[in-house]
Each structure stands twice: as C-alpha cells, then as structure tokens.
C-alpha cells in the first residue's frame, strides 16, 4: 500500500496565470461569469492546457454490501444491492441515463456484493468478500481487505489514465452505506452523531434514531482505533468507500480532475484528504445532497458544490449532472472572443 503516499501532481502555475489573463480579456465585465471563470482557470491549470476540456468523462460505480445492515438501519433489504447491480448492467438506472446524456464511459465494479459471484456481462468482478463485517461488533474489514479495496480504486484509475481521461467520477451502491459514511464522518470530524445521520434510502424518524444509536455504540466500541484515517476506514468503512478513497488519491497522483458526488462520495473524499491534503486542488464537488450530514462534510472540506437539486440518490448521479457545468465553463473560456479579437 506504499503507493498511497506517492506525491500528488501539482497544478501548473503558468497555465493558471495564462488562463486568468485570458478570462480578464474576454468580452465581458471581469468576474461576471462568477464560478464559471474560476472553474475554467482551475481546469486549465490541472490539465495543463490552454484549452481545458471535458470530452473524455469516465465514471466508475463501486458496489458492495455492509454487515451493519444486520442492525436494521436501512429501509431496504440487503438483496437490493445485487438487484441494483443487475439494473446498472441492464442500463436501467439513473446513472446509465446520465452517463449516456454526457457521453461518458461507465463501468460497474463488484467490490463485495453478497452472492454475486456469477459472471455478469459488463460487470467487473473484483470482489473482496461478501460484504464487510458488522462494525457494531468488530472491525468492518481486515487490514488486508482494506489494502485490497484501496487497490481496486487505484486500478480503476490506471485503466483510464492511458485513455487521456479529462475527468473522473466515482459512484457507489450498497445498502446501509449511509450508515457507514455517517460513522466515518463522525469519527473524522468529531461531530455529534445526530448532526450527521439522515434518512439514507428513506428510513422514518424512528429509523433515524435507531441509526444514530447504532453509530454511537459503534464509535464507542472502536474508540481506541479511531485516531488515524486508514484505521477509521478499516473499522467503520465499506469496500466501495475504500475503493473511492483509493481512486481519488490516484487521480491526484495521475493528474486527473475529479467530480465528487454526494454524501458518501464526499466522505470518501474527506478521508482521502486526511491522507493526502494536497489532493484538494483536484476535487470539484458536483452537488449538495439532501442527506443530513452532507452539508457538514462540505463545510469541513470548505467545498463549493456546483448544484443543489435536493437529490440523495448517490450512484454518481449529481456529479454526472455537474459535468454540464464544467463543460460550459470550458466552452465559454475557449470559444468567447477577447476584446482584441472582437475589435473592441
């Protein structure tokens, strides 16, 4: 796992300066395009191009089950993870429609779904185990399993790096993964559980209270192991969340910008940044989820989400929508005339 500490690629100061100069000379009042200007400048510096672009978009959905589902913290049974995996493969999920809309390459990865070892055409089988352990009773995964899950994420980026990817998006699927993400965020941020636990897939008020109690008990149970990000991830995380952590870090190492999705993806980003703080330059935040804890995580990250559509679906849906915003920023930056070009 030594690769995880390899340096993050720096953004180009010269391309940032060049892009800033161009923005100041486009036929508009300076700053009038707001965040679209800063997005274009950031992308130019990250991609090290005069003309930043988002032509090649790659989306990876990591799917895994969670042992904590045994505690009844989800509105849906665990079998739904596998059913949704089939739906992704069949092309019937929201992310399939959005990936098609954006012309994005989409891959589906089984990192640890229960009873899903049969071959599916179009499914990448990288299963570590049939879900994590129940973290209310033991560590969610062993150190070896954590290493394997991080490696799944690294390998996803290796596959796209050779294809000159312009941007990467990670999505997730796993019943009870909002419980895992809430526990992780509480442990990292040292925030009260009631601020970071929401409805997830739609549990009622009684269900939210149950989730809170399960998480509080688990945090107390693992308290001595929650002092370092990888240990927190091992004891409270999910295979798909760990895979996203690995993917985000390797994006920074390979020089590939990232659009982060909702609450679970942002929690993975939070952990990745605890490991590699300079990764922050490479992360754009697609949207603010309706999930209760997301605003707290975004605040801790000093993140500016691009959209707020009251979504809480996950599976990379909000980030996929945000591709259009980044593409618009690139189009304005490269296609608008300068005052000199317009003869003004």
pLDDT digits (tens, 9 = 90+) for 284-335: 999 999 888 999 999 999 999 999 999 989 999 999 999 999 999 999 999 9
| Catalytic residue of the set 50, 151, 315, 341 | 315
**Distance (Å, whole) CA 79 – CA 149:** 21
Percent of the chain with pLDDT over 90: 87
Would you state the pLDDT for residue 299?
A: 96
Whether 315 is catalytic is yes
Per-residue confidence band for 39, with pLDDT thresholds at 50, 70 and 90 = very high
85's CB contacts (< 8 A; 6+ apart) are 63, 108, 110, 113, 116, 120, 123, 173
Per-residue confidence band for 208, with pLDDT thresholds at 50, 70 and 90 = confident
Residue with tokens 């754009």: 284
pLDDT digits (tens, 9 = 90+) for 140-180: 999 999 999 999 999 999 999 999 999 999 999 999 999 99
Range in 18-22, 25-29, 201-205, 286-290 the model is least confident about? 201-205
CB atoms within 10 A of CB 208: 17
pLDDT at 200 over 60: no
**Distance (Å, whole) CA 203 – CA 205:** 7
Let me know: does 324 contact 9? Beta carbons within 8 Å. no
**Distance (Å, whole) CA 94 – CA 224:** 40
Cβ burial of 190 (10 Å; 0-12, 13-18, 19+) is exposed
Would you state the pLDDT for residue 72?
A: 84
């Amino acid at each position: 796992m030594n690769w995880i500490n390899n340096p993050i690629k720096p953004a180009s100061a010269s391309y940032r300066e060049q892009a800033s100069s161009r923005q100041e000379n486009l036929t508009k009042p300076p700053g009038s395009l707001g965040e679209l200007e800063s997005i274009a400048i950031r992308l130019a510096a990250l991609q090290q191009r005069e003309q930043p672009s988002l032509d090649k978009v790659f989306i990876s959905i990591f799917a895994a089950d969670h042992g904590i589902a045994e505690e009844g913290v989800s509105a849906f049974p665990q079998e739904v993870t596998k059913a949704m995996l089939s739906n992704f493969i069949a092309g019937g999920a929201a992310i399939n429609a959005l990936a098609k809309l954006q012309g994005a390459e989409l891959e589906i990865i089984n990192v640890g779904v229960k009873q899903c070892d049969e071959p599916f055409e179009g499914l990448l089988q990288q299963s570590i185990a049939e879900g994590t352990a129940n973290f209310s009773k033991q560590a969610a995964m062993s150190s070896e399993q954590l290493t394997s899950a991080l490696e799944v994420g690294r390998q996803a980026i290796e596959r796209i790096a050779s294809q000159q990817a312009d941007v990467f998006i990670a999505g997730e699927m796993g019943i009870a993964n909002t419980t895992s993400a809430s526990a992780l965020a509480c442990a990292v941020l040292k925030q009260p559980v009631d601020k970071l636990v929401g409805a997830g897939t739609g549990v009622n008020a009684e269900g939210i209270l149950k989730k809170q109690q399960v998480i509080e008990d688990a945090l107390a149970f693992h308290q001595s192991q929650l002092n370092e990000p990888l240990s927190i991830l091992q004891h409270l995380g999910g295979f798909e969340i760990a895979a996203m952590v690995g993917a985000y870090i390797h994006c920074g190492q390979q020089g590939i910008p990232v659009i982060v999705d909702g609450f679970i993806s942002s929690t993975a980003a939070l952990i990745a940044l605890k490991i590699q703080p300079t990764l922050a330059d490479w992360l754009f935040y697609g949207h603010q989820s309706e999930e209760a804890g997301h605003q707290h995580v975004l605040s801790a990250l000093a993140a500016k989400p691009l959209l707020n559509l009251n979504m809480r679906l996950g599976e990379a849906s909000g980030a996929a929508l945000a591709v259009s915003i980044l593409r618009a920023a690139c189009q304005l930056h490269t296609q608008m005339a300068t005052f000199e070009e317009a003869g003004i």
